[in-house]
């Protein structure tokens, strides 16, 4: 099993290309099930989760081809993938596939809307909270679906004439459930209004693609989304937006180590709140023609308090990385996690590097230290794994991160991108 070896102490200087967003690519790929025409997606990252979803879509009958690879500095990325789901051969998403990735559960929306039925295993994935499917079920029920849970599967059927437009207000903001309900409503009879909808950029990106396919969606990116159902959707060509979580992660890595890095092919407007927190921590951040420039030379890291919130608040997917940064801040900082109840599992691993962190309910208190020392650590989930990399970049000596399959789910060629900017990071195969 692969591990990541880091020898800390080097500043980061250079250019890091930002990949397409995993959190946008996954629902866009699933949207291909809504049409029998070809959906072409550009700027798709090469990640374990993307490859797993390709297998799942293939199980339903999608024909998938990859082209448009372009080489830059020895790295193949920014893939273009064509998805053609002309014939749905199965409306069952089996446990052995869905259990490996929670987002694969989202196929329930397109399958139900297009085929009138779906049998989807209850989801698996990172162990960072319960993330129940109740909101998905309630939302689809509001569109007329009949849903039962039996033997670990969600069995859903639509009325004889198809799903029916309706109104549903989420009791709690859910990005995944917003994706699913919006996709299902595109083919429903009548108008659907989604209240308390997720406002994340990835939701707006999905709506943009669906509209290019012939859907009639307005309000995506706000708390209320309106969808006028249409009889069918066509193919389209769509470019996946930049990964704001990868952008924020590398920005925090530069703030941690010091240096001067251009983050290319990204958009600062996608993560204003996170960038402002990094500025307050002592980094200089400016927009460039191609992305963002991050500089920290001289002054130390300042402590900053944050609270995770749905967009446009501080992203929960950057919480662990920011905690890694705060371990070397010159003072005490506090991080409050409001999205997932079990997302502090990285605390004990950061402590192995010398971090001083205490927990009280949903809040972590971080007392910054002047020195971190390398040690063997273990990734517990996707975002926790990269927080250990950030801490390792500033630790004295060697840090060895195991279970890096978590990293491979969400960060494309992380060690290559960091090494190109002067970090001592390498993948070690046992």
Which residue numbers belong to the known binding site for UDP-N-acetyl-alpha-D-glucosamine?
102, 131-135, 172-175, 317, 339
CA distance 40 to 165: 28
**Looking at the DSSP assignment, which residues form a beta bridge with residue 155?**
119, 148
* Residue 350, token pair as written in the block: 């950061």
* Active-site residue set: 126
Q: From CA 35, how far away is CA 53, in angstroms rounded?
A: 17
Backbone angles phi, psi at 224, to 5 degrees: -130, 120
How many angstroms separate the CA atoms of 396 and 411, rounded? 24
35 token code pair: 């049409």
Annotated binding residues for phosphoenolpyruvate, written as ranges, equal: 22-23
DSSP 234-255: --EEEEPPB-HHHHHHHHHHHH
Q: State how far the Cα of 406 lies from the Cα of 377, in Å rounded to an integer.
A: 13
Which positions make up the binding site? 22-23, 102, 131-135, 172-175, 317, 339
Give the Å distances, CA to CA, from 162 to 6, 37, 127, 138, 154. Answer: 54, 20, 35, 17, 18
* List of residues 6+ apart from 4 with CB closer than 8 A: 389, 400, 401, 404, 407, 414, 415, 425, 426, 427, 428
Q: Which among 26, 1, 5, 3 is positioned nearest to 424, based on CA atoms? A: 5
């Amino acid at each position: 099993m692969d591990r990541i070896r880091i020898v800390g102490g080097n500043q980061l200087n250079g250019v890091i290309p930002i990949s397409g967003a995993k959190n946008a690519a996954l629902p866009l790929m699933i949207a291909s099930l809504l049409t029998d025409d070809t959906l072409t997606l550009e700027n798709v990252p090469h990640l374990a989760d993307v490859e797993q979803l390709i297998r799942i879509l293939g199980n339903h009958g999608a024909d998938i081809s990859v082209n448009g690879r372009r080489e830059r500095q020895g790295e193949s990325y920014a893939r273009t993938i064509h998805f053609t789901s002309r014939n749905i051969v199965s409306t069952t998403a089996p446990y052995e596939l869905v259990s490996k990735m929670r987002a694969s559960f989202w196929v329930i929306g397109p399958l139900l809307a297009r085929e009138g039925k779906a049998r989807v295993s209850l989801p698996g994935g990172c162990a960072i909270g319960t993330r129940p499917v109740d909101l998905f079920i309630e939302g689809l029920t509001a569109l007329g679906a009949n849903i039962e849970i039996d033997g670990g599967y969600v069995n859903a059927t639509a009325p004889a004439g198809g799903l029916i437009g309706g109104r549903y207000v989420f009791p709690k903001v859910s990005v995944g459930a917003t994706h699913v309900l919006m996709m299902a409503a595109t083919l429903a009879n009548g108008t659907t209004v989604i209240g308390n909808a997720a406002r994340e950029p990835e939701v707006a990106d999905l709506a943009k693609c669906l509209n290019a396919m012939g859907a009639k969606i307005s309000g995506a990116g706000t708390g209320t989304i309106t969808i006028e159902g249409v009889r069918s959707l066509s193919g389209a060509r769509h470019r996946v937006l930049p990964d704001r979580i990868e952008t924020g992660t590398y920005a925090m890595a530069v703030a941690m180590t010091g240096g001067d890095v251009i983050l290319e092919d990204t958009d600062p407007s996608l993560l204003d709140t996170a960038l402002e927190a990094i500025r307050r921590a002592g980094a200089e951040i400016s927009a460039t023609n191609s992305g963002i420039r991050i500089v920290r030379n001289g002054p130390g890291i300042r402590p900053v308090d944050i609270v995770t919130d749905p967009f446009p608040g501080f992203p929960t997917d950057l919480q662990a990385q920011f905690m890694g940064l705060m371990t070397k801040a010159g003072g005490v900082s506090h991080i409050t996690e409001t999205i997932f109840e079990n997302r502090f599992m990285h605390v004990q691993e950061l402590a192995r590097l010398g971090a001083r962190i205490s927990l009280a309910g949903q809040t972590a208190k971080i007392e910054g230290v002047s020195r971190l020392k390398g040690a063997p650590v273990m990734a517990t989930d996707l975002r926790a794994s990269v927080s250990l990399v950030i801490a390792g970049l500033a630790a004295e000596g060697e840090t060895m991160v195991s279970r890096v399959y978590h990293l491979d789910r969400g960060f494309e060629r992380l060690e290559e991108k960091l090494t190109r900017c002067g970090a001592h990071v390498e993948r070690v195969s046992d």
